[in-house]
Amino acid sequence: MDVSIKNQVSAEMQRMFIEQGKVKGYLAKGNHVLLAISGGVDSMVLLDLMLAAKKEVAFSLGVVHINHQLRLESADEAAYLKAYCQERKIPFILETWKEPATKGIEAAARAFRYHTFAKIMHTDGYQVVMTAHHGNDQMETILMKIVRGGQLGTFAGIKESQRFSNGQLIRPLLSFGKEQLYEYAAEQKLVYFEDQTNQELNVQRNRIRHLVIPQLKQENPQVLAHFQRFAQQITWADQLIKKQMKKVIEEQVKETHDGFVFPWRVVQEMSLEERYYFLYTLFDWANRKTNLFINEQQIDQLLEQVDRPKGQWQLTLDRSWVFQRVYEEIALVRKNDVENEPVEIIDRFIEIEPHKQIILNEKAWVGLFTPDEVAGFRFIDDWGEFSHDVWLEPQQTLFIGKRQAGDRIQLNEKLTKKVSRYFIDKKIPDLQRKDAWVVKDEQKKIISLLPFTYSHLSIGVETDKIHYILLYKYQKEATGRRT
């Protein structure tokens, strides 16, 4: 290919990148931007594009590199990046993972990276952190989510922009494919490093990357662009459906002293797909006012039930709520005639099942949900809420119970402290100590101390594991609040 034509290709990528950044606001005058640079082709292209953008937009730029010490080449790569940035007068931060995990390495490494990014943003005043996720990453993520299953909105893939630490996490390369990045790097004569662990097929993402996606590209070379469009369409469709169903709910559903009620004709006149999204949106809306959560299987049961000609029926949803039809009305109401005793937990631990809630006592309940399930949850007026992210293997289990003598919690990478000492240091009153719960993993290591803090072990980011949110709700003491 003619050199001038090749240069035109790079120039076009730069033009698109800069124009996109200006329109979306993350390439703006005065912005303080932190680039997460691994040294791979993706991040080196991102760095080069940002240097090109800096010639047009007056923002400040810094680079952070994490040396995970997992490969022999790591030190040489870090040294190259440091020299590269110093030559171009780019502030460079090198962080070393000094105590690599012996298992769950990928998740632990990513947790350390994002924890480091957040810390630097906070201490050094960066408003934006950028990572080099690209269009192929988006395609891999969508395929992984389809395999795992979920609601419509979960299939939208990687977000281009989201809140993070004290600012934003931006992924500006999602509109570019991996092959484009390699072409750009070749034209600009960029030096980059290949991580051979990305070839290992014991990781789900790598299997999809090397075994599934090449087959899809053989079927249609434009499949990457189609997946990018699919992600956008899914996002728009989910937003549109929720908007329309919200309008129906606001017009037809009335809140009563013990629940919610609406005319049976509302669902009778709907098609099957309308009923599904009406019920899904109804329960999502109800979650903002109650502690009720239902799963996909229960929605399927309701779809079967509402179509039956019987004038009266009742379906129990959990210990506290029933969904019932009484002739021309359908209601979601609290059970008045069924005991709703909390789970008795004294000297034992019980399993926290994903997608379910556990009523611990009259003052507290806990649940393990996906981010999409927990979205929109609101605690009732006199109840507090404590939650944090948890990343679990498909068969991994968590347990909840009361703290035991000698229990310890890892508060950061280096600091492990007895729970009793934590309470003393934080000056937590005795009554609140008695009300506290601990969540442990299968190795009996504490993941959470509810509702006060969570372990460094629970920190995770995008990974081959399943992303959950551990949600704890509790009745606040009238005499004070939790610290």
Question: What pLDDT, on a 0 to 100 scale, did the predictor assign at position 3?
Answer: 43
What is the pLDDT confidence band of residue 347, given thresholds at 50, 70 and 90? Answer: low
What is the pLDDT confidence band of residue 448, given thresholds at 50, 70 and 90? Answer: very high
| Residue 40, pLDDT above cutoff 70 | yes
Q: Is 38 annotated as a binding residue?
A: yes
Considering only residues 335 and 142, tell me which one the structure prediction assigns the higher pLDDT. Answer: 142
Question: What pLDDT, on a 0 to 100 scale, did the predictor assign at position 376?
Answer: 54
What is the pLDDT confidence band of residue 434, given thresholds at 50, 70 and 90? Answer: confident
Rounded to whole angstroms, the Cα distance separating 200 from 26 reads 35
Instruction: Note the pLDDT tens digit of each residue in 320-341.
Output: 788 888 778 888 887 753 334 3
| Residue 120, pLDDT above cutoff 80 | yes
Question: What pLDDT, on a 0 to 100 scale, did the predictor assign at position 346?
Answer: 44
What is the pLDDT confidence band of residue 359, given thresholds at 50, 70 and 90? Answer: confident
Rounded to whole angstroms, the Cα distance separating 385 from 377 reads 10
Question: What pLDDT, on a 0 to 100 scale, did the predictor assign at position 341?
Answer: 39
Question: What pLDDT, on a 0 to 100 scale, did the predictor assign at position 355?
Answer: 82
CB atoms within 10 A of CB 421: 11
**Can you tell me the mean pLDDT for 450-458?**
85
- The residues near 443 (Cβ < 8 Å, ≥ 6 apart) are none
Strands 398-401, 437-440: pairing is antiparallel
**Can you tell me the mean pLDDT for 445-465?**
78
Q: Is the pTM of this model over 0.85?
A: no
CB atoms within 10 A of CB 423: 19
Question: What pLDDT, on a 0 to 100 scale, did the predictor assign at position 293?
Answer: 74
Question: What pLDDT, on a 0 to 100 scale, did the predictor assign at position 288?
Answer: 72
Q: Is 387 annotated as a binding residue?
A: no
What is the pLDDT confidence band of residue 100, given thresholds at 50, 70 and 90? Answer: low
pLDDT more than 70, % of the chain:
90
Question: Does residue 41 contact residue 80 with C-beta atoms inside 8 Å?
Answer: no
**Can you tell me the mean pLDDT for 72-89?**
93
| Residue 362, pLDDT above cutoff 90 | no
Q: Is 43 annotated as a binding residue?
A: yes
Place of tokens 């201490």: 123
Place of tokens 């556990």: 358
Question: What pLDDT, on a 0 to 100 scale, did the predictor assign at position 74?
Answer: 86
**Can you tell me the mean pLDDT for 261-288?**
88
Give CB contacts under 8 A, 24+ apart, made by 438-443.
438/400, 438/401, 438/402, 438/403, 438/404, 438/407, 439/352, 439/366, 439/398, 439/399, 439/400, 439/470, 440/349, 440/398, 440/399, 440/400, 440/401, 441/396, 441/397, 441/398, 441/399, 442/396, 442/397, 442/399
Instruction: Note the pLDDT tens digit of each residue in 407-425.
Output: 899 988 788 899 999 998 8
- Torsion, CA 65, CA 70, CA 74, CA 78, rounded to 10: 20
**Can you tell me the mean pLDDT for 352-378?**
78
Q: Is 338 annotated as a binding residue?
A: no
| Residue 303, pLDDT above cutoff 70 | yes
User: C-alpha distances in angstroms, 362 versus 72, 179, 333, 365, 474?
Assistant: 55, 57, 19, 8, 9
- The residues near 413 (Cβ < 8 Å, ≥ 6 apart) are 98, 99, 112, 456
What is the pLDDT confidence band of residue 102, given thresholds at 50, 70 and 90? Answer: low
Instruction: Note the pLDDT tens digit of each residue in 205-215.
Output: 889 999 999 99
Instruction: Note the pLDDT tens digit of each residue in 183-203.
Output: 999 999 999 998 877 787 888
In CATH, the number for domain 253-334 is 3.30.465.60
Question: What pLDDT, on a 0 to 100 scale, did the predictor assign at position 142?
Answer: 92
- Whether residue 451 is preceded by a cis peptide bond, meaning omega within 30 degrees of 0, is yes
**Can you tell me the mean pLDDT for 374-397?**
72
Give residue limits of the domains in the chain. Answer: 3-233, 253-334, 350-475
**Can you tell me the mean pLDDT for 158-177?**
91
Question: Does residue 437 contact residue 358 with C-beta atoms inside 8 Å?
Answer: no
Rounded to whole angstroms, the Cα distance separating 18 from 60 reads 15
In CATH, the number for domain 3-233 is 3.40.50.620
| Residue 178, pLDDT above cutoff 60 | yes
Rounded to whole angstroms, the Cα distance separating 260 from 292 reads 12
Question: What pLDDT, on a 0 to 100 scale, did the predictor assign at position 27?
Answer: 93
Rounded to whole angstroms, the Cα distance separating 41 from 464 reads 22
What is the pLDDT confidence band of residue 244, given thresholds at 50, 70 and 90? Answer: very high
